[in-house]
């Protein structure tokens, strides 16, 4: 089996993927691999088929038994904290276990600074508490291509979110922690030592490199590393583990035999996995190292490919859901590509060429995964990786280790190491900030479909095969797939309207067929939280950064033709600045009336700074793109209330007449009725989130809508939508679609017809 274990590893992947996929996809995956084996590796055919069947049945068994034993009616719980507690502002989060041996995600909002201080010193792995609370199902994704939190928790065998009424120290007790919990406590102690004693600029990076912890990492800097494709540097990878093992082994054999040194490392590596957070990349690197050390100890030969394959099989046997973990996928695909390409890399005598091709192969192999999860790649990624990989591997990582060891010996000894580390990290962070701010070199392609994923896989595989023969023109196939992916929206005859779920706010995305126009009507916005200093979070949820921008990038939107601000309320344009910073906007559209909104004035100033055209529209204006015309019906005159200054648009999309009303209230509706007495609509975007001050009886009588769309936040503080508005719509047999119940609402259309879809059932 030497050199052939990789086929068993691929069979394991195929079996798990087939077991989790739909039946037609399962059959296709198995059939393709069967054909490949029969054509190329006939003697491994039977063994691989057995492996596929074993892992196929294994994932089905695991999946069927991955069910909750708890009920939503339960209110009293005895919980054991089994992982470190995370506190961010007033929010406390932790993984706990109940007596039924089932894990829960605990989320608790602390009520005072004193309580926060008490709980921070009390709660740790091994603590047992009795609490009263409620169980809530994790949320489903509410917008297209959004993160599936429920699926994520289920893959970690968690089915409920526990929300305690309170956590009382009187109802908690410390018990003797397990060995695993002791290691977690030791890890937390080490993280705190770095946080307390290292220069602030270095804390996040040193914690990430030594303990796999990013909680203290600056959010904007982390975003920069991710945008530039440098995020892998902040994960403990194979190169880190190799350097550490090599250094430790070199030191140990000066005092003890090689066999004893090997045994010590085999014992230490599992401990190291726990201390560094046990991420898939750490487990993969450490497990592969242990296999090499074990083979060397037994005087056996083990190829890197075999070691990687065995590590993959072991990890999937331990947890088959790891196959869907992005860290697992990236770690193994990059390692696999580098191992297979190592003869080609080593054929170059120049160290610079080796470094370049190593980085290039890693980037190329990861490309489909990066696009699927992050929707974009940076053109700066390759040159910056060539610089940053050796910088981190041979300068920052050793300096971080030296600083920590010197501090433990005596704080005075660590001063020169920390000083040098601080200088280097500050310079590298400035470089990341500089290059990540250049959005022009970020290639936004959107989430590739299954078809494009297959195209990327085939093109990259062909490129690797040809590169081994020093034929680099084959990279043109990869470039061709990228170009086809980038221009595919411009060949799509379908258009789309999406009322995004942005909570208590408005955001409507309109894409015309063949992408002849991309319009964003309002952006949603996050109301600033009022609270005391102890309640401030390191990273507040932001609707622009967390919902709207990811959605636009997932669609492959590189520029917005018109960003339409209906009026100046924060829940309508609060995220506009975030969108302008991340994407190219050709034109900002506002109402041609005087407004007292400072937020809108700031938005106009930002647009002018970014050289974005600002258009002021009023009744009578229109624009046409292809066969679609948008008519501006409002504003016309000045009002005391800014809501009645809302830009109101009328258009025909997918054979239906749409009226998009912003926050127009009764006074503005009456003006519309008087100005357009014959106006009828099919789809009404209900004004002001369904407030009782809008959508009057007289307005509905004239418009006669068939479908009403309401953008409203779940459990919002205003009680929107008003029961009176719902009653008026229901009496007229209007179909009501609302974001608080249905999530995002999509309308896929062609020239004459279209279909509505809701994200939530």
The CATH number of the domain holding residue 500 is 3.60.15.10
The DSSP secondary structure of 63-97, one letter per residue, reads HHH------TT--EEEEEE-S--EEETTEEEEEEE
Crossing angle of the two packed helices 200-211 and 415-436, in degrees rounded to 10 = 90
Residue 582's nearest CA partner among 520, 538, 649 is 520
In terms of domains, do 163 and 247 share one? no
What's the N-to-C CA distance of the chain in angstroms? Answer: 49
26 or 105: which leads in pLDDT? 105
CB atoms within 10 A of CB 252: 16
**Rounded mean pLDDT of 151-157?**
95
Residue 506's nearest CA partner among 552, 560, 573 is 573
For the cut 90, the answer to whether the pLDDT of residue 715 exceeds it is no
Contacts of 99 (CB under 8 A, 6+ apart): 78
Residue-level pLDDT at 1: 55
Residue-level pLDDT at 22: 60
Residue-level pLDDT at 177: 85
DSSP-derived letter for residue 513 is G
Q: Check if the beta carbon of residue 185 is closer than 8 Å to that of residue 124.
A: yes
Residue-level pLDDT at 511: 97
- The rounded distance, in Å, linking the Cα atoms of 271 and 248 is 15
In terms of domains, do 235 and 382 share one? yes
Residue-level pLDDT at 50: 87
- The rounded distance, in Å, linking the Cα atoms of 684 and 667 is 17
Residue 356's nearest CA partner among 390, 318, 316, 322 is 390
In terms of domains, do 167 and 299 share one? no
Q: Check if the beta carbon of residue 644 is closer than 8 Å to that of residue 661.
A: no
Phi and psi based region of residue 690 (left: phi greater than 0; alpha: psi -120 to 50; beta: remaining): left
In terms of domains, do 43 and 144 share one? no
- The rounded distance, in Å, linking the Cα atoms of 145 and 371 is 12
Residue-level pLDDT at 41: 67
Give the highest mean pLDDT range of 38-52, 251-265, 379-393, 678-692.
678-692
Residue-level pLDDT at 428: 93
For the cut 80, the answer to whether the pLDDT of residue 472 exceeds it is no
In terms of domains, do 478 and 503 share one? no
Q: Check if the beta carbon of residue 626 is closer than 8 Å to that of residue 632.
A: no
DSSP-derived letter for residue 43 is G
Mean pLDDT in the chain? Answer: 90
Q: Check if the beta carbon of residue 710 is closer than 8 Å to that of residue 736.
A: yes
For the cut 80, the answer to whether the pLDDT of residue 33 exceeds it is no
Q: Which range has the worst mean pLDDT, 139-148, 242-251, 383-392?
A: 242-251
Does any domain span residue 370? no
**Rounded mean pLDDT of 233-254?**
83
Q: Where are the alpha helices (DSSP H) in 615-694?
A: 666-675
In terms of domains, do 485 and 503 share one? no
- 494-523 pLDDT per residue, tens: 999 999 999 999 999 999 999 999 999 999
The CATH number of the domain holding residue 149 is 2.40.50
Confidence at 530, pLDDT banded by 50, 70, 90: confident
For the cut 70, the answer to whether the pLDDT of residue 27 exceeds it is no
**Rounded mean pLDDT of 129-149?**
95
Tell me which residue has tokens 């912003």: 662
In terms of domains, do 628 and 701 share one? yes
Residue-level pLDDT at 639: 74
Per the structure, the complete domain to which residue 468 belongs is given by 453-490
**Rounded mean pLDDT of 590-609?**
91
Residue-level pLDDT at 70: 93
Residue-level pLDDT at 2: 63
Residue-level pLDDT at 558: 93
CB burial of 125-163 (b: ≥16 within 10 Å; e: otherwise) equals bbbbbebebebeebbebbbbebeeebeebbbeebbbbbe
In terms of domains, do 123 and 244 share one? no
Does any domain span residue 346? no
Beta strands in 91-231 (DSSP E): 91-98, 103-109, 127-136, 158-164, 172-174
The structure tokens listed for 8 are: 């068993």
**Rounded mean pLDDT of 4-26?**
80
Q: Which range has the worst mean pLDDT, 196-210, 407-421, 570-584, 636-650?
A: 636-650
Tell me which of 148, 177, 206 is where a domain ends.
177
**Rounded mean pLDDT of 528-541?**
82
Does any domain span residue 52? yes
**Rounded mean pLDDT of 195-209?**
92
- The rounded distance, in Å, linking the Cα atoms of 255 and 250 is 10
- Residues in a beta bridge with 558: none
The structure tokens listed for 756 are: 């509505």
- 404-460 pLDDT per residue, tens: 999 999 999 999 999 999 999 999 999 998 888 765 588 999 999 989 998 999 999
In terms of domains, do 597 and 693 share one? yes
Q: What percent of the chain has pLDDT over 90?
A: 66
Tell me which of 177, 207, 235 is where a domain ends.
177
Residue-level pLDDT at 65: 92
Residue-level pLDDT at 593: 85
Residue-level pLDDT at 243: 82
- The rounded distance, in Å, linking the Cα atoms of 198 and 497 is 50
Does any domain span residue 25? yes
Beta strands in 557-626 (DSSP E): 559-560, 562-564, 584-585, 587-591, 613-617, 622-625
- The rounded distance, in Å, linking the Cα atoms of 488 and 485 is 5
For the cut 70, the answer to whether the pLDDT of residue 301 exceeds it is yes
**Rounded mean pLDDT of 108-130?**
93
Does any domain span residue 71? no
In terms of domains, do 504 and 638 share one? yes
Q: What percent of the chain has pLDDT over 70?
A: 97
Q: Check if the beta carbon of residue 712 is closer than 8 Å to that of residue 720.
A: yes
For the cut 60, the answer to whether the pLDDT of residue 336 exceeds it is yes
Does any domain span residue 463? yes
In terms of domains, do 225 and 277 share one? yes
Does any domain span residue 447? no
In terms of domains, do 207 and 149 share one? no
For the cut 80, the answer to whether the pLDDT of residue 19 exceeds it is yes
Q: Which range has the worst mean pLDDT, 25-29, 259-263, 588-592?
A: 25-29
Tell me which residue has tokens 């896989």: 457
541 or 3: which leads in pLDDT? 541
Confidence at 660, pLDDT banded by 50, 70, 90: very high
For the cut 90, the answer to whether the pLDDT of residue 342 exceeds it is no
SS3 content of the chain, % helix, strand, coil (to 5): 55, 15, 30
Count of domains for the chain: 5
Measured on CA atoms in the order 394, 395, 397, 401, is the torsion positive or negative? Answer: positive
Does any domain span residue 365? no
Strands 518-521 and 562-564: parallel
Give the highest mean pLDDT range of 359-363, 435-439, 746-750.
746-750
**Rounded mean pLDDT of 26-38?**
69
């Amino acid at each position: 089996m030497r050199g052939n274990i990789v086929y068993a590893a691929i069979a394991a992947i195929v079996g798990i993927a087939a077991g989790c996929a739909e039946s037609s996809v399962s059959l296709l995956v198995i059939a393709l691999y069967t054909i490949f084996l029969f054509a190329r590796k006939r003697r491994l055919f039977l063994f691989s088929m057995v492996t596929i069947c074993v892992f196929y049945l294994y994932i089905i068994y695991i999946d069927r038994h991955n069910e909750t034993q708890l009920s939503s009616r339960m209110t009293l719980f005895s919980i054991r904290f089994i992982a470190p507690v995370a506190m961010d502002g007033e929010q406390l989060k932790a993984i706990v276990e109940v007596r039924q041996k089932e894990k829960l995600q605990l989320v608790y909002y602390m009520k005072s600074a004193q309580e926060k201080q008490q709980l921070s010193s009390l709660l740790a792995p091994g603590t047992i508490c009795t609490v009263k609370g409620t169980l809530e199902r994790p949320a489903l994704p509410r917008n297209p291509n959004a993160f599936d939190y429920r699926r994520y928790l289920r893959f970690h065998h968690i089915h409920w979110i526990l929300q305690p009424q309170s956590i009382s120290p009187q109802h908690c007790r410390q018990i003797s922690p397990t060995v695993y919990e002791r290691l977690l406590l030791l890890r937390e102690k080490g993280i705190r030592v770095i946080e307390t004693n290292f220069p602030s600029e270095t804390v996040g990076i040193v914690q990430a490199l030594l303990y796999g912890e990013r909680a203290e990492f600056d959010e904007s800097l982390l975003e920069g590393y991710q945008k530039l494709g440098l995020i892998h540097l902040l994960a403990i990878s194979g190169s880190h583990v190799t350097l550490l093992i090599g250094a430790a082994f070199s030191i140990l054999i000066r005092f003890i035999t090689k066999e004893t040194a090997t045994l010590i490392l085999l014992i230490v590596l599992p401990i190291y996995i726990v201390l560094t957070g046990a991420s898939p990349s750490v487990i993969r690197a450490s497990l592969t190292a242990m296999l090499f050390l074990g083979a060397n100890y037994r005087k056996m030969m083990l190829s890197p490919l075999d070691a990687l394959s065995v590590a993959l099989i072991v990890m999937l046997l331990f947890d088959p859901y790891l196959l869907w973990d992005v860290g697992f996928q990236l770690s193994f695909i990059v390692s696999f590509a580098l191992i297979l390409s190592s003869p080609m890399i080593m054929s170059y005598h120049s160290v610079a060429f080796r470094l370049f091709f190593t980085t290039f192969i890693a980037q190329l192999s990861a490309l489909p995964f990066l696009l699927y999860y992050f929707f974009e790649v940076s053109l700066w990624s390759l040159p910056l990786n060539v610089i940053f990989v050796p910088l981190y591997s041979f300068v920052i990582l050793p300096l971080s280790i030296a600083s920590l060891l010197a501090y433990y010996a005596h704080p005075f000894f660590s001063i020169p190491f920390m000083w040098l580390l601080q200088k280097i990290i500050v310079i590298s962070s400035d470089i990341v900030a500089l290059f990540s701010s250049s959005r022009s070199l970020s290639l936004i392609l959107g989430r590739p479909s299954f078809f494009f994923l297959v195209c990327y896989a085939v093109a990259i595989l062909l490129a690797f095969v040809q590169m081994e023969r020093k034929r680099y023109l084959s990279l043109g196939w990869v470039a061709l797939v990228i170009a086809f992916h980038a221009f595919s929206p411009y060949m799509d005859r379908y258009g789309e309207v999406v009322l995004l779920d942005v909570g208590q706010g408005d955001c409507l995305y309109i894409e015309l067929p063949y992408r002849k126009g991309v319009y964003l009507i309002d952006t949603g916005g996050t109301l600033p939280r009022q609270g005391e200093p102890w309640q401030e979070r390191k990273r507040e949820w932001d609707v622009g950064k967390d919902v709207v921008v990811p959605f636009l990038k997932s669609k492959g939107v590189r520029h917005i033709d018109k960003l339409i601000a209906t009026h100046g309320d924060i829940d309508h344009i609060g995220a506009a600045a975030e969108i302008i910073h991340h994407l190219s906007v050709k034109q900002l559209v506002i109402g041609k009336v005087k407004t007292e909104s400072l937020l809108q004035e700031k938005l106009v100033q930002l647009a002018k700074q970014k050289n974005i055209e600002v258009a002021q529209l009023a009744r009578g204006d229109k624009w046409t793109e292809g066969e679609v015309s948008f008519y501006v019906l409002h504003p016309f005159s000045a009002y005391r209330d800014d809501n009645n200054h809302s830009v109101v648009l009328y258009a025909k999309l997918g054979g239906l007449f749409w009226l998009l009303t912003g926050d127009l209230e009764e006074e503005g509706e009456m003006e519309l009725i008087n100005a357009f007495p014959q106006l009828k609509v099919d789809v009404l975007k209900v004004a002001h989130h369904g407030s009782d001050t809008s959508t009057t009886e007289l307005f509905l009588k004239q418009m006669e809508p068939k479908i009403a769309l309401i953008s409203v936040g779940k459990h919002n503080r205003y009680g929107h939508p008003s029961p009176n508005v719902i009653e008026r719509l229901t009496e007229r047999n209007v179909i009501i679609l609302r974001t608080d119940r249905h999530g995002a609402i999509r309308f896929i259309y062609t020239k004459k017809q279209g279909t509505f879809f809701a994200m939530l059932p």
